[in-house]
Homo-oligomer: A and B are copies of this chain.
Amino acid sequence: MSAAGQRAEVLIRSLREQGQRVTTGRRAIIEVVAANADLSAEEIVGFVQRDHPEVHSSTVYRTLETLEEAGLVRHLHLGHGPARWQLAADPSYRLACEGCGTVQLVPRVRFDEVRRQVQAEFGFAVAFQHFAMTGRCSACQ
The chain A residues found within 8 Å of chain B, CB to CB, are 77, 79, 95, 97-98, 104, 106, 110, 114, 118, 121-138, 141
Contacts and interface: CB of A to CB of B under 8 A. Distances in A.
Copies assembled? 2
Residue picked from A121, A127, A131, most chain B C-beta under 10 Å: A131
B124 A135 contact: yes
A126 B130 contact: no
B126 A121 contact: no
8 contacts: A95-B124, A123-B138, A124-B135, A124-B137, A127-B135, A127-B136, A131-B131, A131-B134
A80 B3 CA distance: 33
Contacts of A125: 135-136, 141
A123 to B, nearest CB: 4
B110 A124 contact: no
A85 to B, nearest CB: 15
A132 B135 contact: no
